[in-house]
Amino acid sequence: MIDPKDEQLNISLIVEEEFEKLRIDKYLSSILDDISRSSIQKFIDEGRVLVDGKAVKSNFKLLKGQAISLYLPQEKEPEIKPENIPIEVIYEDEDIIVINKHKGLVVHPAPGHESGTLVNALLYHYKDQLSSVNGPLRPGIVHRIDRDTTGVIVVCKNDQAHLYIAKQLKEHSITRKYLALVYNTFKTESGRVEADIGRHPVDRKKMASGVINGKYAATNYRLIENLDNKYAYIECELETGRTHQIRVHMASINHPVVGDTVYGPSKDPFKLQGQALHAAILGFIHPTTKEYVEFRAPLPTYFTDLLSKLRRL
C-alpha cells in the first residue's frame, strides 16, 4: 500500500448526487475516460484512491458530497526518437505545416504505438522547429485524426501559432469537412446529428453516444450520392471535434462508415484497412496574417477506387 503523504495528488473529485450509491470503481471508470478500468482497479488495490482521506475497496458505494483523491504513479516519459518516415506536406510557412496524413499513420505515440507515428516523422524532418505546448510526446500537435482516417492535419512550429489555432478549435470556429462512404442510402439531402459522446461504459476503447458524462457533439451531413441502393457518399462537417465523432454519430443513425468494424458491421465486404473516411478540408484564421486560409487534400486511391466500383454496381 502506498503512503499518500509520499505521493503527488493528481485528481480530486466531489461526488455529485447522480452518482450516489454507485461503486467507486464504476464511478471512476465513467468519469476518467482516459484511464482504463484495469488501471483504476490496480490503483484502488494499491491504496491510491482515497474517499474522505481513507483508502477504500472497489465495491465501496459512494455518497453525495464525498471527496475522492487519486494519487497516480509517476511515470517516466518515454524517449521519442526521430524516424525517417515520408510525409506529404500540402503547405508550410514559418508558423504552420499542413500535412495530408496517409492511412495507417498514428498521429502521436501512445501505448501500443510508441514508434512509427507522425510525431516521429516530424522530429526527423523538423527537429526542434515544433511547438512545445503539448509537451515532448506531442510536439507541434494541435489536433489529431484517427490512424485509418486520411487527410488534412495542421501542425504548429511555434507556441504562439499553436495557442492561436487551439483557441479556434476550442471555440469550434474551424472548418472541418470530411468525405465518407457509409452503409444504407438516404432519403433526405442533408441532416444533423446532435448527441453527446463519451467513453463506452463497457468497452473502454470505444466511444458511444448518449452516455453519462458524455460531451456535447454535433455533426452536419450532406448527401453527395446514393450508391447501389446499399451505400451513400456523403460530406460531414464537424461543429465539435470529439473522439471518433463522425464514426459514432453516423452509426447512431444507422449509417456506419464503410470499413469501420468497430462501430459498423464486424465484417467488411471490401476488406479495407479501416474506415472509408477522409478529412478533405481544413480552414482557420492564420495565426500571423489573421486571414482565413483553407486547405484541401485529394481523395486517396483506395477511396476513389471503391467509389468507382460502387458506381458500376
Task: Report the catalytic residues.
Answer: 146
User: 44 in helix, strand or coil?
Assistant: helix
Contact 149, 260 (CB under 8 A): no
Measured CA to CA, the distance from residue 198 to residue 31 in angstroms comes to: 10
Q: Which residues neighbour 158 within 8 Å (Cβ) at sequence distance 6 or greater?
A: 94, 95, 131
Locate 236 and state its grid cell.
460531414
Contact 257, 276 (CB under 8 A): yes
- Tell which residue, 123, 122, 89, 118, has the closest CA to residue 105: 118
Measured CA to CA, the distance from residue 305 to residue 50 in angstroms comes to: 56
